[in-house]
Amino acid sequence: MTKAISPRSRKVRVLATLGPASNTVEMIERLYEAGADAFRVNMSHGDQASKVPVIAAIRSLEKKFGRPTTILADLQGPKLRVGKFAEGKVVLETGQEFTLDRDPTPGDTTRVELPHREIFEAAHPDARLLLDDGKMVLRVTAVEKDKLITRVEVGGTLSNSKGLNVPDMVLPMAALTEKDRSDLAFAVEQGVDWIALSFVQRPEDLMEARRLIGGKAALLAKIEKPSAITRLEEIVEQCDGVMVARGDLGVELPPQSVPPLQKRIVETARRMGRPVIVATQMLESMIDSPSPTRAEVSDVATAVYDGADAIMLSAESAAGKWPIESVAMMNSIADAVERDPAHGDRVHFTVTRPDPTTADALAEAAKNIARTVSASAIVCFTSSGSTARRIARERPTVPIMVLTPKIETARRSGLLWGSHAVHTRDVESFEEMVAKAKRMALRQELAGAGDRIVVCAGVPFGTPGSTNVLHVVTILGDELKNYQGPEGG
């Protein structure tokens, strides 16, 4: 028997990362009840076998709550690291010379192995090398065969296998490593809904992932490299969704550059009709504290005001001491922002002009009509999910009920602004469409007697990409009287 839970009152989605603090059946259910709309499985940590029960636990929510669940598998991507040191670590002094080479011999205070041929091919004098999440900075002074001579600009302690960032280079390396290919195949086999590709540099990086996915999941590009910004629109065009991954973006760029870039990425994704997630360090202090800082609350609020489709928790929900409280806090911040009378105007600062197609024209009209007639919801019948994405791009003030015969479409819509997906049989006639829209709006508690709903669909029914019908209906009192509740109608 399903467990009743009211529809989310907010439009922005909450994406929670699962990890040691939250990957049990009980914790996943509690996160969902606290406000998580979708779950991120990080393939960087743990083996594939450990992910199987986690994915099964997320899917088990569908029977318990009677709603589709949404799973995003996040691939690790090509991690760049230095080699090892003879004594495990060294101290680099500011101003000293330091060499990175291809020699696997353990390093010392003068040199260390850099086991990435691609960096030597792309390096040039004056390029920066950032070590250990940017804590140390090296500047390349000379490039020799299999050797980079650098000057230490910011020193510190460097230990074995620390990470390396190269903000001033576009590396001639594939976005998918062998580990990523294996993890991608596993994720597809497990039936996840979204696959996130890390460290995207160029639109071509997405092509192999798209081919390997084979249409069995949606593809999300993580924007965390400065080189991706120069070809942002091309990258967005090639993917199904975008993540503003502020962690590595903030390492490779000055911190003050990240907020305007965040707004630019959100605006570009919204304008091009792709769902966009703002991620990393949103409530970072809640890893250890039961409450966030005021600055973190403002950061989350800014993403909501900018109209992001989803906001994400990372270590806060995966490994922190307060995973439930972190999700509940993010949920409450989003609720408070969306209740602000100014929220609607701020969300529409980004102009999303419709493409010259019937489907786009109807999506814009649905938003405007819903506002004009004070409708309670927009109901869209969709097979592929494209109608729902078009309507979500317009950021209507009412929920979008997504009725689809495909469970995959229902699950993928979990990252869409304002979506409330229902997996249901398709309709075959106009009359059945109207009746079902009313019945489902009642069943899902999105409308009541006397309420209007705006219905979007395509005729002939069941034909993807044929959205051509917009209809306004009123739910009458006798329809509510005849309605039998969740198990009836």
pLDDT tens digit string along 83-103? 999 999 999 999 999 999 999
Phi, psi of 341 (to 5 degrees): -55, -25
- For position 487, what pLDDT does the model report? 39
Catalytic residues, which ones? 40, 81, 222, 280
What is the sign, positive or negative, of the torsion defined by CA atoms of 457, 462, 463, 465?
A: positive
- 476 against 238, higher pLDDT: 238
Q: Which range (237-251, 349-363, 365-379, 389-403) has the least confidence?
A: 349-363
Residue with tokens 């002094």: 93
Q: How confident is the model at residue 330 (pLDDT cuts 50, 70, 90)?
A: very high
Burial of 140 (0-12, 13-18, 19+ CB in 10 A): buried
Mean pLDDT score of the chain: 92
How far is it, in rounded angstroms, from Cα 86 to Cα 108? 6
From the list 140, 148, 96, the residue with the least C-alpha distance to 120 is: 148
Res 231 pLDDT > 90 = yes
Share above pLDDT 70 across residues of the chain, in percent, rounded to a whole number: 95
Q: Which of 129-143, 198-212, 349-363, 423-437 has the lowest mean pLDDT?
A: 349-363
pLDDT band, very low/low/confident/very high, at 479 (cuts 50, 70, 90) = low
Cα→Cα distances 407→193, 276, 388, 472, Å: 10, 22, 14, 26
pLDDT for 489:
36
pLDDT digits (tens, 9 = 90+) for 1-39: 566 566 788 999 999 999 999 999 999 999 999 999 999
DSSP 240: S
Mean pLDDT across 241-255: 90
Give me the domains of the chain, ranges plus CATH numbers.
Answer: 13-77+175-342 (3.20.20.60), 89-165 (2.40.33.10), 358-482 (3.40.1380.20)
Confidence of residue 353 (pLDDT cuts 50, 70, 90): confident
pLDDT interval class at 461 (50, 70, 90):
confident
Nearest to 454 by CA among 361, 371, 375: 375
Concatenated DSSP letters of 315-333: HHHHTSS-HHHHHHHHHHH
Structure confidence at residue 2 (pLDDT): 63
Say whether pLDDT at 432 is over 60.
yes
pLDDT score of 486? 46
Cβ within 8 Å of residue 137, ≥6 positions away: 128, 129, 130, 131, 152, 153, 154
Contact 220, 200 (CB under 8 A): no
Among residues 133, 21, 35, 2, the alpha carbon closest in space to that of 335 is found at: 35
Mean pLDDT of 212-240: 95
Could you tell me the pLDDT band of residue 254, with boundaries at 50, 70 and 90? confident
- Asked whether residue 268 carries a pLDDT value surpassing 70, the answer given is yes
* pLDDT for the residue 49: 97
| CA–CA separation, 16 and 283 (whole Å) | 12
pLDDT of residue 480: 59
What single string gives the DSSP state of each residue in 59-117?
HHHHHHHSS---EEEE------B---BTTSEEEEPTT-EEEEES--S-B-SSEEE---H
Range with lowest mean pLDDT among 112-116, 173-177, 423-427: 173-177
pLDDT on residue 5: 64
- Dihedral sign for Cα 236, 242, 244, 249, please: negative
Residue 153's Cβ-side half-sphere holds a number of Cα atoms within 13 Å equal to 14
For the entire predicted model, the pTM comes to: 0.90
Q: Residue 323's pLDDT is what?
A: 98
Say if residues 362 and 468 touch (Cβ distance below 8 Å).
Answer: yes
Percent of the chain with pLDDT over 90: 79
Q: Which of 347-351, 384-388, 420-424 has the lowest mean pLDDT?
A: 347-351
Q: Can you tell me the mean pLDDT for 412-441?
A: 93
Could you tell me the CA-to-CA distances from 187 to 108, 146, 212 in Å, in that order? Answer: 40, 37, 11
Task: Give 488's pLDDT tier (boundaries 50, 70, 90).
Answer: very low
